[in-house]
A = this chain, B = another copy of it.
């Protein structure tokens, strides 16, 4: 059977912008990963094995680890390679690299945690607004249910009973509008802190890989060569794993992840050389 599939969006802080594309994939990933606590759970339990299987995906923790590690492998690696290119001493490359890892981990962890709180606030605000509208302009909101259904070629006589059914049950109606009109799922605050910590820790672990050689090899050129070799292998490995978990061709994912790291370090190297040349 085909590999369990997760949308690749947002598996890396470096591809965060993907959540801005016209897609619910990132959220679908979260949702699929969230068998418990999301509205689809009843369906999953009722669904036949093939469907339960389709919705089975890597846990969020695994995704957080992959995301943190592969990001940690990229930027600190590129920075260290760049500084080595600028013939900085190993000790300084290490200092800069570890400083970047600390900064990146804090930013991802803290930034992520605060973003989770904002997301929860946003959900509450939207829910309140939707609730007020259901009370204030019920006919308008009811018409919107029809509008959503009509997009799928359904006729008023077909969706009419659904509209009436929802109107009889305001709480269900609110939940229906939150999910199908606004496309919002109830956030899980507990998850926020855990996710932030997991990603921050994984970023540190990933970031240490390219930096370790500089701890033990004093000759910066040798340290750099070792770091490049070790990190490119690690990028291939994690790119493959990432591909597995995102349901993409793992080898393609491995190659792409490695190319990003290589190009980024080449850019950092070139930039460092250029600045030195001033």
Contacts and interface: CB of A to CB of B under 8 A. Distances in A.
Interface of A: 2, 5-31, 33-34, 37-40, 42-43, 46-48, 50-51, 54, 60, 63-64, 67, 71, 74-75, 78-79, 82-83, 86, 88, 91-92, 94-96, 98-108, 110-112, 114-116, 118-119, 121-123, 125-126, 129, 133, 137, 140, 143-144, 147-155, 157-162, 164-166, 169, 172-173, 175-176, 179-188, 191-192, 195-196, 199, 246-248, 253, 256, 259-260, 263-265, 267-272, 275-276
Contacts of A152: 165-166, 169, 172-173, 175-176
The 4 lowest CB-CB distance pairs between A and B, nearest first, are A10-B19, A15-B115, A78-B103, A19-B26
A30 B119 CA distance: 14
B30 A107 contact: no
A157 to B, nearest CB: 7
Contacts of A54: 129
Given A43-B144, A88-B95, A260-B107, A9 B19 contact: yes
A9 to B, nearest CB: 5
23 contacts: A10-B20, A12-B115, A14-B108, A16-B67, A17-B195, A17-B199, A21-B30, A22-B27, A22-B186, A22-B187, A23-B184, A25-B123, A28-B182, A40-B181, A48-B137, A82-B99, A86-B99, A99-B272, A107-B264, A114-B260, A118-B253, A125-B247, A158-B161
A110 to B, nearest CB: 5
A95 to B, nearest CB: 4
**From DSSP, what is the main secondary structure of chain A's interface residues?**
helix
Contacts of A270: 102
B185 A25 contact: yes
A22 B30 contact: yes
A103 B265 contact: yes
